[in-house]
Amino acid sequence: MKKILIVDDEPRTRQGIRKTLEAWSSGDHQIETASSGAEALAWLERNEANLLVTDIRMPEMGGLDLVEKLNGMAKPPVVIVVSGHPEFDYAQRALQLGVVEYLLKPLDKNKLLRAVEQALKREGDLHRIGRMEKLVDSKLLEAGEQENRFSPPVRETLKYLDERLHEPVSMRDVADHLHLNASYFSVLFKEQTGLTFSEYLTRRRVQRAKELLMNTRLPISEIAERVGYQTAKYFVKVFRSLESVSPGQYRQSVAETEETIQ
């Protein structure tokens, strides 16, 4: 259930927006309200919101000041601002802060609902992008983008490793498979991929582990085995060295709803 926080110091406007969104939502979204920027900030320090609908002009802390504070959060909500004043400076600052919509009072209910639907869609897109950024290893991505330029032995190596991530594989094993001198192969691989053989293999194993952590509920010990580590303890050490979090913490950070877990 997505959460929408409405912030406005005018009770009539605040309750009007709430009633409109509750009727539109039919219970599918949790609608919360705050009567000031300070109250909203306190609520957001304890809770997450997917969407913030806030008035601009409020005593003590205006809507844009609130948005500026929220931009430092790990997962800030997307924002719609509401204003009774069509002032260019407000609109310009709202744009700079990444606000997705700027609505003028008196609010047109249909425009409000269209803005909310678009904002929640954008929030979903940003969430998916954030998940993908957590999933993809940038160095592997760079190497993958150059793969069509790799020599046949290096391309064969990447395929060979992908099929054997669950097995103990050494650089000499691969060099022997390719009928190449191990020293020559080591230099060739690093020259073309930008990574040593050992670094590539480790990153590829952690990449596969991240996919399993995100998309399954397999225990950490089984994931460790599936990506070629004989002990879960060593797997956790390697994973943490690359991702700065444990596998369990990573899984929690990218967790979706129960229905999406396979």
Domain spans, the chain = 2-134, 138-260
Q: What percentage of residues in the chain have a pLDDT greater than 70?
A: 97
Of the ranges 58-62, 92-96, 190-194, which one carries the lowest mean pLDDT score? 92-96
pTM more than 0.85: no
User: CATH homologous superfamily of domain 138-260?
Assistant: Homeodomain-like (1.10.10.60)
Taking only the tens place, the pLDDT of each residue in 4-38 is: 999 999 999 999 999 999 999 999 999 999 999 99
Those residues with Cβ within 8 angstroms of residue 71's Cβ, 6 or more apart along the chain or in another chain: 97, 98
Nearest C-alpha neighbor of 86 from the set 129, 57, 47: 57
- The answer, yes or no, to whether residue 257 has pLDDT greater than 60, is no
pLDDT tens by residue, 155-172: 999 999 999 999 999 999
CATH architecture of the region 2-134 = 3-Layer(aba) Sandwich (3.40)
pLDDT band at 110 (very low <50, low <70, confident <90, very high): very high
Q: Give the span between the Cα atoms of 230 and 122, in whole angstroms.
A: 42
Burial letters for 78-104: b for 16+ Cβ neighbours within 10 Å, e otherwise?
bbbbbbeeeeeebbebbeebebbbbee
Q: Give me the mean pLDDT over the 239-260 stretch.
A: 77
Predicted confidence (pLDDT) per residue in 111-154, tens digit: 999 999 999 998 888 877 777 777 888 899 888 888 889 999 99
pLDDT band for position 258 (cuts 50, 70, 90): very low
Asked whether the predicted pLDDT for residue 1 surpasses 90, the reply is no
| 34-75 residue pLDDT tens | 999 999 999 999 999 999 999 998 988 989 999 999 887 878
